Chains A and B, each alone.
Chain A
């Protein structure tokens, strides 16, 4: 079976959903179900133990077949991300942590230096560490070396819907990585998720594109199908793109057969 392995966990779905930005908890839960996802990420800052109606953790924990991956969105430094990871693990019981460190709260670009530091510490403590990173092949290898479970390079700026603007860097990361590469952020449409999978990504993470769709459930299931199609295509072997016509008769036959 073609499954995604992350640490000791195995997932048949290669679509990971984010849980922010939805119009209601109900809309979020419906989208998760429609997507068939088995792994969702949720921000510690949206855990609300004191007010059930405002809490995202409680309803997600009650869903069957869903593994939680708390994220550290809001952290500006490694120290804050490590603290958030510890609290999240206590509250959620999940060994996963999606390390998100964005010191600039406006564009939310990940800080490679603080991210590396936090990942090194958390991987050493036994977390299954999934860092959200710029599409930087060197950083991706550095993070693999410190024991990350996967790397999650951005397709484009978070919430921008600009798709795979980092495609060429992603290809290098995929080529050079021995751990799963999961495209996170920037995907606008199912065709872009499909393209990421065709490229050889192991999974994609989507949030805004589903949460702000007019019909989040339909969009979630469309993404699920696109991810499956992309993965199947990658397995099937995609015909190489060629810049010129390929001659059907050999051009060098007049030279005789090769010795």
Chain B
């Protein structure tokens, strides 16, 4: 039973009125005025029920009458529960949403969740239909809209379900449930949502709206988080160079999400599948710790895993990563031959730094070989007159994904046959009398983005005594201008590569920019940008996509070997991306299946380890678009007007009974007053 206007129960406070009348009003009438209470006060007070009810019958009749009238105004109606409900209420379409994210593997939660699903299946009526939907960060229909007679299938679908390595997201499951319910012809719709209701799994409504009239019954698989739950949430890799070898120190971050502290545990670093170091691990309850292992030498791409001891939630105990030697960015500087210190400032600037490391080669315009171009990611043409042959080779280089930076000093020239530069190089502009300065920068561009913040480098301090007047081509982005408005740096995309044209020199002949602090970061940013350098991710998270095209230049069909041993051709669906669904190492192999082209480490979402629950009412309210009570949401079930009237008719009898009691009250009062 429920009430249409429960606010009327506030009027129950009016029940105090008859009680007060019985207690107080009668007493007020009998106040005895007396000259002085001097002697009365001296008599020890013997407590006799001064305020006592004089007529219980009358009081009870009045209270009952008032309560019945208030109850009638609250409009009670009979709400019939779903399980085994009367045939007249209609059959149900039930969607059992079962959370299979890895967090539900904590303790015995998965078994309890499945038990909840079995209960829901057992509660189906003879005419009901039910679907089983497994959800985590996605949703999967295990069994769609079977009749109640197929209980065995439903039970089998639940029994076959397993937890996966994904995180909890409620909205995909609700959306799938909504689509199933929307297609159902049955009059009553219900969703049984079985989950541990992690707070991280709900980020607002996310468009998960169930059809009107749907009832959501949350089944919370919760409980105290008192069993140990330690997870490795991240590792950091500190690289150092040691005698031409690269060494990496691995530091693991460990979080204890349980209410019990861990002492004397173990944390192990595995490299290439072999445990090489084990450290003692102590973590406070709800605390975190970090453990740094001894540096390891990296010569080739190696699999690494940091593992902590077994606990109630096993999935987050291991953290995988790939240790790769840092790949240098190969730069070829084309400088005019015969200089004592060719491109001095440029090569010095590129020699500094190890993230990334630049491997610089200086070549003359005539000595630049195709092999140099094949190995290089970036070619810097430093104030050199480029002939037509070299120009075409550079154009092909850029179209194939390479980067070219052209510094145009007094000797710079570019052949018209090679349409590569973003601008035509014009006559030199002499600013020896009044030096030019950089007037405007495109801070939104990747090259200048680090200089955006205040005191992050001042290009205006550099003086330019000469530059080449350039005429920008269409569809070219001007990244920097001199104070007179002339372009200083222009960018053009050609094919899959990029070209930057610097209108002045990168040495001291025309400017003092190489002496300014901004020179080094400017050259590094420009080189990273043109070489399209991206730091390889040591690991990915389950749910992210694996781009199988990276890691090798080979473009033929490939196979991805999942951690569970399945072989997936990546062009199966005409795409070379694959969503990571398992924790472990994915191997990208060639068509033959033998050569490992790339290895990608995959880890579970560490946020899922946080088992802090949320109130299921929030999800229920968002899904049904209204308020929810503690046991779930009850949206308005469509009923015929007659049925509605029948279910609400109770108020009429209550009101009648209340009036009869009031009449009885009148009779009793009259009799009492006569006596």
Partners in one complex: no
Residues of B whose CB lies within 8 Å of any CB of A are none
